Structures are given as structure tokens and as C-alpha cells.
Structure 1
């Protein structure tokens, strides 16, 4: 029996070409990874690496060409729409943009009540649940009567987190959940996610392009490069002593507050890229 809540094995994702007889675009080339119960796997890579495609495949939003996705020992890669809806209590998502992921025409209370109503929760119980969720993410109770546009980016992401928590999920796919926020707000949201995990035991698949952010929240880290996992290990090892040249470049790409150190990192990154090009 697997110790993981989520197991992805040899996952291949291809998209059909628009041109006649053109070859399919293979985004993932046989990716395998696991998310332990109550832990966080950080999945890191640059734009275009395929990391978001993995999250979408797990959520049933991207086609699975071959391979296996098992959640709590159950194969979910070929589930239909109705079966997917039945999993919403166990599997949730937090998207990158906290504004576009919330309906701008709905009050916060209605946004949070929506998943509860879909599960048949009574109005009174839903109201009590919403009050608890807002308190959980550090927002005042009167937020229920306000619109998303009345909140800052960090507050909107807290609303998105509250919505993801509404049904007490066992796993949340966090797709670049702090990349649209300033550094101070990022730190607050990351600390909130860690606190929620300690209190509830929820597991995270945390998708990001920033190794420093991933290091802050992850127990294990997998590095994705052009559709393949090129490095996988503990967060401390991968984010502090990376072995693969691509991971080393990602680490050097992480911003630092010291301008001189930032210039040195940029120079080291360019030297690594030049060395890889000459070796190829």
C-alpha cells in the first residue's frame, strides 16, 4: 500500500495539433511523482516546463495520453465529469490570479457558499461554516457582504484559500498561488498555508517557478524541465545543494534584496547557461 495520497506514474500528456498530419505536441514525457499524506511536494520549473499541465491533469482539466494518476489508491485519470464532481470534497485547487479566480459579480459570502450548497449543506450550517473559514484565513466576518474588487490581492487570495478549504479537502493543488503578490504579502500567504497544513493535515502539490518560495513550504521538491523530472529530493537538498545544472540555474534566478548579490547571481546564471551550450 502506497504511503502517498497522490501517485502520478509515467504520465504522458499530448495535445492534438491544429494542422493536418502534424505531430502531436507532447508536453509531458512520462512524469512520475508522489504527494505524501499531510505533506507538501513542491513542483518547480520555468514557464513552459509543463508543471501547470501536471496540475491540470490531476484536476481532470488536461487530457491524459498515457500513464496513471491515483488518488488514495483510486485511479482517477479517466474519470468522467460526474465522478470528478464527487471528488471535490477531497481535491481542490488554488489558482495563480486571486482576482480572476473569483467571480467579480458575486459577494464573498456567495462565493464561499457555492461549494457548500452544491454538497447539500443547509443555509444555517453554511453561514456558520463561512464565518469559521473567514476567521481561519484572517478576514473579518463582514467580508461576506463585500465584493472581490474591494479587497487587496493578498486578501483575495485568502478568500480563494477559504473557498478551497470549504469542503475539508485532503489535497490542494496550489498553482503559482503567490506569484501575483508582492514579497511581503507572499510571505503572509505562505505562512497561512503552513499554519492550515499543521492544523488540518491537508496535503499540497505546490507549483511554482521560484525555488526560494518552494523551499519555504515544501517537504520534497521535484524539478521539471521540458516535460521531464530532472531532480527530486528533500527540499533542503534540492533548494540549497542542487545537483542538476538546470536546478542550479533556477536557484540563481531567484531574486534577492541585495543588488550586488543579484548581479553576481545573474553572472553565474549566464556562465552556467554558456557552459551548457558549449557542452551541447
Structure 2
């Protein structure tokens, strides 16, 4: 079998609590998962489950209390700032909110030039890459001279995707990248991410609270509940025939257009929640 591109091994993340004698708050409990090259792992859970903390730990933005994070066979659990700058060529991120993740005072061309300049890429080559990036995400060439507030939410997220692709990374951490978009725009952005993966071979750690979204884009799925993985496996099984009651509740929480079916799903979800509480 092919070695994982990203391997999270028994990861523990704790944050210090306020107060001298209060114990640390443990967010993640011995979490293990892996992302294969050219594949997508969907990481799904409700708000507060710890899924974003995993993404932040991979990016070096959350402390690793115990366990290990390995990328391309290398332990990056406690990488220095200098090492993180080098890693940024291979690991990038798309944040949730396209309205706050882009600097409103910078033109799109400047936003896309930032990561290229940070890696020492010259102005002429950078401008050539920016033109290719805009075309790659379906934005017009003149977008480089416009400010983010001149674009819709979906277009802004395309700019964020272009920025993440600027250095041709091996892995992109996608932290709820479509949750702030309407359903039609969500589908278009997801299709764009799939197309980019087919063309470039980039791998995704795709974080979401929505099983339907995860089903659409993922090869494998890990379900996180209160900082622990409670179910994992192929996306086709986990998102359509879940075994764990928590995953079943997530599936039943997905909205459907038929009001009668929606009422039935809500009743089933409440019954599952009551059983879990017993």
C-alpha cells in the first residue's frame, strides 16, 4: 500500500485553563487518521467536536500535547517557524469565511502574489502564475486589479482557492470552505475542488459538519465526537450506512426538500439522541 501523505498518530491537544490550579482542557483524545496522496479525507463533526483543532494542529496553529503528526514521512509535530515556512510550499489552507480570510485593502493580484513573494519567486514569474491561477479557478484576468469586496462570496472563495494553489502544494486543509455559501454556490465550489484534484493530484483534509457535503467530495471519512474518532471508513459507507449512533444523527440532520420526510428524519434523530442519553 502507498504510504500516507499525512499521518496523525494518537494526537492529543490540550489548552491551559484560566486559574492556577485548574486542569488543562483536553480538546483531542488520542486521535489517529491519515490522508493518502491525491485523495480526500472528510473530517466531520458538530461544532465543538474538535475537527478544526485537528486542522490547526496540522498547520502548526494548535499545540501538540502528545502523539505525532507526520507529513511525507517527516515528523512536523513541533516544527519551528523556519521549518513551517518551508512546509508552506507543500501544505496550504482554505478558511471557512471568504469575507474575512482575504485582506480587503489588497487587490486580488497582490493577495495571490504574497505567497509567491514569500518563497522568493520573481515578479515576472509571479505575474505569469497569477494569470494561470485566475484561469484555473474560473475568474477573469482583470480580477487581479479588483478588491475582494467587488466579488460575491463564491468568487471570493475562488480567490482563496487560487491563493492556496499558488505554490502547488501536496496537501490543502479545507476548513469548512463552503459552509458560508448558498447551496448552488457550494456545489460549484465543490466541483471546482474535485476538478483541481483530478488535474493536479493535490490531497485534501476536508473539514465539515455536513455529511452530504463530505459524501460529495471525500474518498474516506472520519467522524469526530467530543474529540474522539467514533467511526471511519470509505465515504460511500460512512455517509450512507453509518454504524455509530452519532453518525446516524448527523445523517438525519441533513436537510431534505420534502417537509414530511424532514419531520420523520427529525423524529428519528430525536429518538436516537434519547437512546444515547440513557
Whole-Å separation in 1 of the counterparts to 2:191 and 2:255: 19
Matches within 5 A, 1:113-262: 113-262=113-262
Whole-Å separation in 1 of the counterparts to 2:79 and 2:40: 24
Matching residue of 1:86? 86
Cα contact 1:221–1:238 (8 A) shared by 2: yes
User: For residues 197-256 of structure 1, what are the alpha-carbon distances to aligned partners after superposition, in whole Å with 9 as ceiling and x for unaligned?
Assistant: 000000000000000000000000000000000000000000000000000000001111
Cα contact 1:102–1:148 (8 A) shared by 2: yes
Q: Provide the secondary structure at the position in 2 that maps to 1:240.
A: coil
* Aligned-residue RMSD, C-alpha: 0.8
Whole-Å separation in 1 of the counterparts to 2:150 and 2:259: 35
Whole-Å separation in 2 of the counterparts to 1:261 and 1:200: 40
Matches within 5 A, 1:3-14: 3-14=3-14
User: Offset at 1:97?
Assistant: 0.2
Whole-Å separation in 2 of the counterparts to 1:43 and 1:87: 22
Q: Provide the secondary structure at the position in 2 that maps to 1:4.
A: coil
User: For residues 20-59 of structure 1, what are the alpha-carbon distances to aligned partners after superposition, in whole Å with 9 as ceiling and x for unaligned?
Assistant: 1001000001000000000000000000000000000000
Q: Provide the secondary structure at the position in 2 that maps to 1:172.
A: strand
TM-score when normalising by structure 1: 0.98
Gapped runs of 5+ residues in structure 2? Answer: none
Q: Provide the secondary structure at the position in 1 that maps to 2:89.
A: coil
Matching residue of 2:69? 69
Cα contact 1:11–1:29 (8 A) shared by 2: yes
Q: Provide the secondary structure at the position in 2 that maps to 1:46.
A: coil
Gapped runs of 5+ residues in structure 1? Answer: none
Matching residue of 1:105? 105
Q: Which stretch shifts more, 259-268 or 94-103? A: 259-268
* Alignment pair present for 1:276 and 2:276: yes
Q: Provide the secondary structure at the position in 1 that maps to 2:252.
A: helix
User: Offset at 1:2?
Assistant: 6.0
Q: Provide the secondary structure at the position in 2 that maps to 1:169.
A: coil
User: Offset at 1:103?
Assistant: 0.4
User: For residues 111-139 of structure 1, what are the alpha-carbon distances to aligned partners after superposition, in whole Å with 9 as ceiling and x for unaligned?
Assistant: 00011111111111111100000000000
Matching residue of 1:96? 96
- Length, aligned pairs only: 278
User: For residues 116-167 of structure 1, what are the alpha-carbon distances to aligned partners after superposition, in whole Å with 9 as ceiling and x for unaligned?
Assistant: 1111111111111000000000000000010000000000000000000000
Matching residue of 2:38? 38
Whole-Å separation in 2 of the counterparts to 1:80 and 1:3: 25
Cα contact 1:2–1:73 (8 A) shared by 2: no
Whole-Å separation in 1 of the counterparts to 2:82 and 2:262: 49
User: Offset at 1:19?
Assistant: 1.3
Q: Which runs of 4+ in 1 moved over 2 A?
A: none
Cα contact 1:253–1:265 (8 A) shared by 2: yes
